[in-house]
Structure 1
Amino acid sequence: MSLVKLCLFVFCVCAIQCGESKYSPQFEKNGVNADFRIIGGKPAKAGEFRGQVSLQNRFYAHICAGTLIDPFHIVTAAHCHQRQKPIGYVMGDDLTVTLHGNETRQRRKIVHFVPHPEFSRETFQNDIAVIRVDEPFKVTETFGPMHRSNSTPTKGIRCTVVGWGYTSNSEDSDISYNLLKTDVFVIDINFCNSSFSYEGAMKPGMFCAGRTKGGGHDACQGDSGGLLTCAPRTLSGVISFGNECGLPNFPGIYSDVSMYKDWIDKILITKDLPEYEFSPFPKPHLVYEMNKGNSAATSSVTTAVAILSVILAILSH
């Protein structure tokens, strides 16, 4: 009987996962896609990017990334807070995002997710947020907080962007289960705002980095919120958005961490932050609202949730 219960439970979990609609925030005018992945990357080494963390959903599946700045707090992108794909956990001290990772892996529950109060989902200005977890992360030889940059990266400087995201623009591509890295160069903001590139889409608090001529090295879907570093153990930029991935003349766009120093410092010392609502399983009425307008998704997810309710009742006996 226990095996039957387990099979039913796995079936239900799969049904919910398959019913989730893909979230891809875009600028309609510029075709800007805020789901990111590493293009042209190489495997990272343990401890090389010691603050990199994975933001995960109720099934411990990778959704976004972030950077540990002290044992309780993570900096990420504000757009990583998505009702369609709610995140609930932070995983660190592991180069992989497979279900069963290394013995060093640490996971904490998100208790507060604080997006910048002036974040815009239309322009992605102020695309930055701070996460607080329930218990402090343990600092190890390969994992720990990173410093925050005090200045905007200068034009031409070489930086490194890392992530577990997709590795190509192909529709058949999938995330990389191993942490990847690639080098990019900070590009003149005037070029990125020109008619050859983003046509004015860049706003204050942003900078761009990539390879304008050949392209081929960039972040992409699954890397959002992760780190770009331009100095050892230093968080310089937060992966925000771009026009597809690795295209010539379209560098990746990053939130400039140095521009938000005072706001982040204030969050770190604030004791009473808004509670972050997260449940291991979504409530039926929330599932309906998330998929309103997509009848096929609504039907499959709502059915899955109903089945789940029955399964959980059986498992409780």
Structure 2
Amino acid sequence: MRVLVVLALLTSAIAVPRDPQRIVGGRNTFIEQYPFLSNMQYLWDGVIWWTSCGGSLITTTSILSAAHCYDFSERFSKKRFREPYRSPHIILIFSESSDFWLSDMHRDDFPWEWRVRLGSTFMSSGGTLHAISAFVLHERYHIPTRLDNDVAIVRLASPAVLSPAVGVARIGGANYLLPDNTPVTAVGWGELWNLGPQPEILQHVDIYTINQEICVQRYAYLRTQPGFQNWPEVTSNMLCSGVLDVGGRDACSGDSGGPLLHQGDVIVGITSWGYDCAHNFYPGVNARPLNWAKDWGTPVQRDPENFASRQVAVPIFAFKWHSKSSITNRLRLCSIRPTRLVGFAQRCSISEHAISRIQ
């Protein structure tokens, strides 16, 4: 679920009405082209498994995704309006001394309300289904800027079996810097257009990296408009993408957490947020893996061809959840029954060693 909201009142000539055509502008593809792509499904009201976000398998037990998908302190609207949306949330929290603790923030979604489909081109069939054992958000997610460090690691309850349709992604390292207007690719099962349906067949779309300063300036302008003063700022931890001043191609709601790829298989961004889908003036915004990889810990996988920039770096988890939030009023808090909270604490304590490090 990409965090996307539409202007209630279009008071600016720059914020033009969206194109009514299929604005994602992508095309069908197949999972063997992106075997690391993960279909993150949430159990809606205990009845329907719904594709809420994307992700990328980075080890046989770990998926790289977006923190806002699993942030249990907020509820993000799936659509761009203020309609209620039950965002699936959970966090596994450790203090720096590796002692488990929970803040006084309540929540009502747990790992067993999520599953991952791997190895299928189709959104609702095929491949293999995997249970989730934990979600871990980047320690500095939201802090100090909303949606900054929008990165999460999702832990599988059992290892994925690698095959031509299930593979491990590569992440661009600290030296993997792309110039402006570099062709990149977004992939996922997100909406085909703004407020539109999600496809059954996997989609991919070719877009471009966008100059950081231009992206910063345009979202700074949006923040001057009525009702948008509390919108996220574009930071150095983010990478902007799209087709500048043209639009028509982009990720959309439901693609959050999925990869932004260079040369088809190197992750250079994690789909995060933006104004509308495929807007001509406001680019899509992605979390930069290369920024957090160097902060989060030890490399666990290197490219066999010894290409230094294709180095996967993942964290040794020692996170604390920040219970205070200044997120926009389009979000609301979750709640949980205390009896379930106790059970959750016991369950996570058992898993502490296994979750404390990516294998």
Does the TM-score normalized on the shorter chain lie above 0.5?
yes
- CA shift, 1:271, in A, is 8.1
- CA shift, 1:63, in A, is 0.8
Residue 144 of structure 1, aligned match among 137, 161, 167: 167
Residue 249 of structure 2 corresponds to 217
Return 5+ residue gaps in structure 2 as ranges. Answer: 16-21, 73-85, 89-112, 224-232, 299-312, 321-332, 337-359
Within-5 A mapping of 1:191-202? 191-195=214-218, 201-202=233-234
Residue 85 of structure 1 corresponds to 87
- CA shift, 1:120, in A, is 1.1
**For 1:191, what is the secondary structure of its paired residue?**
helix
2:126 counterpart of 1:123: no
On the 8 A contact 1:212/1:249 being kept in 2, the answer is: yes
On the 8 A contact 1:38/1:219 being kept in 2, the answer is: no
2:274 counterpart of 1:242: yes
Residue 39 of structure 1 corresponds to 24
Residue 298 of structure 1 corresponds to none
The C-alpha deviation readout for 1:215-247, integer Å capped at 9, x for no partner, is 000011110100110124211110000100111
**For 1:258, what is the secondary structure of its paired residue?**
helix
Distance 1:291 1:73, change over 3 A: closer
- CA shift, 1:152, in A, is 3.4
Distance 1:80 1:269, change over 3 A: closer
Distance 1:269 1:205, change over 3 A: closer
On the 8 A contact 2:135/2:152 being kept in 1, the answer is: yes
Residue 189 of structure 1 corresponds to 212
Q: Which moved more, 1:224-233 or 1:121-130?
A: 121-130
What TM-score comes out, normalization by structure 2 length?
0.62
The C-alpha deviation readout for 1:285-304, integer Å capped at 9, x for no partner, is xxxx7489xxxxxxxxxxxx
Residue 153 of structure 1, aligned match among 178, 186, 190: 178
Residue 112 of structure 1, aligned match among 112, 129, 134: 134
Distance 1:74 1:196, change over 3 A: closer
Q: Distance in 2 between matches of 1:30 and 1:157?
A: 34
How many percent identity over aligned positions? 23
The C-alpha deviation readout for 1:103-160, integer Å capped at 9, x for no partner, is xx11211112111111118621110111111111010012210111112332111000
2:128 counterpart of 1:96: no
- CA shift, 1:197, in A, is 6.9
2:40 counterpart of 1:55: yes
Residue 262 of structure 1 corresponds to 294
Q: Distance in 1 between matches of 2:260 and 2:161?
A: 23
Q: Give the aligned residue type for 2:159.
A: P
Q: Distance in 2 between matches of 1:25 and 1:199?
A: 13
Q: Distance in 2 between matches of 1:132 and 1:43?
A: 28
Distance 1:91 1:164, change over 3 A: same
Residue 352 of structure 2 corresponds to none
Q: Which moved more, 1:79-88 or 1:182-191?
A: 79-88
What TM-score comes out, normalization by structure 1 length?
0.69
Q: CA RMSD in A?
A: 3.3
Matched residues, number: 248
- CA shift, 1:195, in A, is 4.2
Q: Distance in 2 between matches of 1:48 and 1:209?
A: 21
On the 8 A contact 1:46/1:95 being kept in 2, the answer is: yes
Distance 1:23 1:154, change over 3 A: closer
On the 8 A contact 1:72/1:136 being kept in 2, the answer is: yes
> Of Structure 1 and Structure 2, which has the larger fraction of its residues in helix?
1
Q: Distance in 2 between matches of 1:176 and 1:109?
A: 23
On the 8 A contact 2:218/2:282 being kept in 1, the answer is: no
**For 1:204, what is the secondary structure of its paired residue?**
coil
Residue 65 of structure 2, aligned match among 73, 76, 85: 76
**For 1:60, what is the secondary structure of its paired residue?**
strand
Q: Give the aligned residue type for 2:276.
A: E
Q: Distance in 1 between matches of 2:203 and 2:23?
A: 7
Residue 192 of structure 2, aligned match among 167, 175, 186: 167
On the 8 A contact 1:73/1:268 being kept in 2, the answer is: no
Q: Which moved more, 1:69-78 or 1:82-91?
A: 82-91
Distance 1:140 1:193, change over 3 A: same
Q: Distance in 2 between matches of 1:68 and 1:224?
A: 15
Residue 132 of structure 1 corresponds to 155
On the 8 A contact 1:211/1:249 being kept in 2, the answer is: no
Distance 1:141 1:187, change over 3 A: same
Return 5+ residue gaps in structure 1 as ranges. Answer: 1-21, 275-288, 293-317
